[in-house]
Amino acid sequence: MYLITNREIIKGAKGLKRFGKKPNSEGPNELRLMRVERSSRSWKVTEVADRLSTAAVRKLKQEFDLDIDETQPWFGSLQVACELFEQARDSGKSILFFVHGYNNDVEDVLTAAREIESLYDVIVVPFTWPANGGGKLSGAAAYLSDKADARASATALNRAVGKIRFYHSLLTEKRKGELRRRADRKFPDNRQAADAWFSRLLEKECPIRLSLLCHSMGNYLFKYTLKTSDNVTSKLVFDNICLVAADANNERHREWVGQLDTRKRVYVVINENDFALRASRRKPGDEQKARLGHYLRQLNSPNASYIDVTPAAGVGNEHSYFRGDAVESNEALKGLFQGLFTGEAMEDGLVYHADRNFYRLP
C-alpha cells in the first residue's frame, strides 16, 4: 500500500516509528510518498525514490504511452501513479483516496485502509496528516490541537489532490484523444451522437474510477483546502466525493460543498446519533456548532446528495459506520458504501424524503 503524508519522517527509525507526530520538519506543506507493507510480525516502510533515472522514465513512457519528455526531471510519484493505474486497470478495481479524522496515528490509518480494501475490493491510498490528539494533551485541548494541525495541512492535501489530477490526466489523455477521434469518425455530421458514443467508449476502454473518502475531521481539513491559493480540490478530479461523518459546521456548508465538482456525485452521509460528533459539539470554542455529519437540517448545498443512515440497522451511535460491525451486519448499508466508494450514482436505490432533502435506505 502507498500512502501520502505531510508528517515528519524520522531517519533511522524502523517500521511505523518512521512517521512522526508533527508536520514535516521542512514545513507542513511538504509531501512524502511512502510504501508500507505488512508482514506477519511488523510493518516495512520504504520512502519512494525522489528522482527517477532517464532510463526509468523512458521505460515508463514507452510502456504507458506517455506524452512526456524523458530528459526532464521526473520523480518517484510518476512510477507509483503508473503502478496504481496498471493495478486498477488489470484488476478492474476503483482507487479510493482516504483522508482520516481526529486522533489517528499511522497504524490506525493503515488498519482502516486495509479494512476498507477488504470490504469493498478497492485500492486505497491514504493521505495521513499529524492527527495524534495533541501528544500529551487530552480532551478539548487535544481536539483543538488536531484542528490546528488540520488547518495547517490544507495546502499539503491540496498539493496531493493536484498530483492526483495531473497523473490521471497524463495517463488517460492520449487514449481519450484517440477515442474522441474514433467517435468523430463514426458520426462526422452528428455532434450529439459522437459525444454519446465517446462517452460509451470512455466507460468501456477507460474504466478506472477515482473517488475520495473524507472521514470525520478529514472533512474539516478538506474544507480548508478550498481556502488555499490556486486550490485544486474544487476542480474535476474525482468520480465521487464522499463526506462521511463530517466534523465540520453544518452552518453555511453550502459555501464550500457547493464549490466541489465531480464526474458523478458529492455525497454527504449523516448519522444523527453519531457519538463522536455529539461529543465534538460539546467542545469549547466558537466553531463548535451543529456538525454536518450529524445534523438533518439546513441540507441545502445544490450539488450534494445527502444520505441519512441514522435508522439503518447496525449504525446506532457509530462514527465509523462504513467499516466494522455496522456494515458486517447490514448488507444494504455495505452495498451503499460499495457504490459510493467505487464511483457509482446510488440515488435510484434509495428513498428520497423531499421535505428534508435527504435519502435513506429502503
Has residue 144 got a pLDDT over 90?
no
Has residue 244 got a pLDDT over 60?
yes
d(CA 352, CA 362): 9
CA atoms within 13 A on the CB side of 331: 0
Per-residue pLDDT at 134: 45
Cβ 47 vs Cβ 34: under 8 Å: yes
d(CA 150, CA 355): 35
Q: Cell triple for residue 178?
A: 484517440
Sequence spans of domains, the chain: 239-362
- Would you call 333 helix, strand, or coil by DSSP? helix
Q: pLDDT-based confidence at 146, cuts 50/70/90? A: confident
* Tens digits of residue pLDDT in 303-325: 999 999 999 999 999 999 999 99
Helices assigned H by DSSP within the chain: 54-64, 76-91, 106-120, 139-152, 154-186, 191-205, 217-225, 254-257, 275-281, 325-328, 331-341
* Tens digits of residue pLDDT in 77-118: 999 999 999 999 899 999 999 999 988 999 999 999 999 999
Q: Cell triple for residue 215?
A: 472521514
Q: pLDDT-based confidence at 147, cuts 50/70/90? A: confident
Has residue 285 got a pLDDT over 60?
no
Place of cell 519512494: 48
Task: Write down how long the chain is.
Answer: 362
* Tens digits of residue pLDDT in 177-192: 777 787 788 888 888 8
Q: Cell triple for residue 79?
A: 512510477
* One-letter amino acid of 21: K
- Compute the radius of gyration of the chain from its Cα atoms: 21
* Chain mean pLDDT for the chain: 90
115: CB partners within 8 A, 6+ apart: 323, 324
Per-residue pLDDT at 179: 73
* Tens digits of residue pLDDT in 29-85: 999 999 999 887 889 999 998 899 999 999 999 999 899 999 999 999 999 999 999
| Portion of the chain with pLDDT greater than 90, in percent | 73
d(CA 174, CA 169): 9
pLDDT, greater one: 328 or 285: 328
Has residue 286 got a pLDDT over 70?
no
d(CA 204, CA 278): 44
Per-residue pLDDT at 145: 74
